[in-house]
Structure 1
């Protein structure tokens, strides 16, 4: 006679799936990273929006980095989200959290990489002159002191 032991993990699996379904990974500039170290009237989130979409009224061309930065790493993001779903189905909440954090780190890296390597419209002579007056010699758009790039991160939060 053989004996089979069955373990009921349904509640654990359901809890893990519910946990995954209730969370979202957001990449960009959260409020906690928005403040700048200088006396700029704009915070990093406002500056990021302005640089990403441009402002014809202020003669600032769009230098889109958000959507294209995510697109650079879309396959990796999808892979981590698939692993998170598989972990949820297996009732492994810890692995769900690991994969959601990995998703955020990959998205963050994609955004920062896009700023570093982006083929953006060159800076105007007046902008370069203003940088030199402040002791800056860099000519790369979107990177002066690196505050905007370094403010790009991710958060995991409950869905509204």
Structure 2
């Protein structure tokens, strides 16, 4: 004679799936204030600087040097694998594993964007920019790498959907 035990985990599974469905992984450069107004006295922040470099600013002679979207795109296969694992964990009712996989997703996307800056596959700096860097004692010629603050400000968050 065999013993069979059935456990009703439906509510746990449904809660885990709902928890996953309500979360989103956001990757970028956070800022409390992203918009600038004409005549703003505050210095430009990393979020604003990141936007300018991602899309360019033709009026200021700044070419587009996209790093965020291409960096994430290069890691898409790995991101998808972790999102699949998160979905499987949700189907198993394992909310803790869901969180682990969402954090892995964010870290991979963050690293992809940071690595895109380090790759050197960006529009080169203008000779005037290189000369200005030399006058300021900087020797780095790679675009988007002067102090490293922009690259280091790229991060991720896991948030509840609005």
Q: After TM superposition, is the score higher than 0.5?
A: yes
Report SS of the residue matched to 2:105: helix
Confirm or deny: 8 A CA contact 2:86 2:99 kept in the other structure.
yes
Report SS of the residue matched to 1:31: coil
Select 1:65's aligned residue among 58, 67, 74. Answer: 67
Partner of 2:16: 16
Are 2:64 and 1:79 aligned?
no
Partner of 2:159: 157
Aligned pairs, how many?
155
TM-score (norm 1): 0.92
Partner of 1:31: 31
Runs of 4+ in 1 over 6 A off after TM superposition: none
1:37-73 residue CA offsets vs partner (Å, 9 max, x unmatched): xxx8210000000011001100000001111101110
Partner of 1:37: none
TM-score (norm 2): 0.91
**1:120-139 matched pairs, under 5 angstroms:** 120-139=122-141
Confirm or deny: 8 A CA contact 2:27 2:155 kept in the other structure.
yes
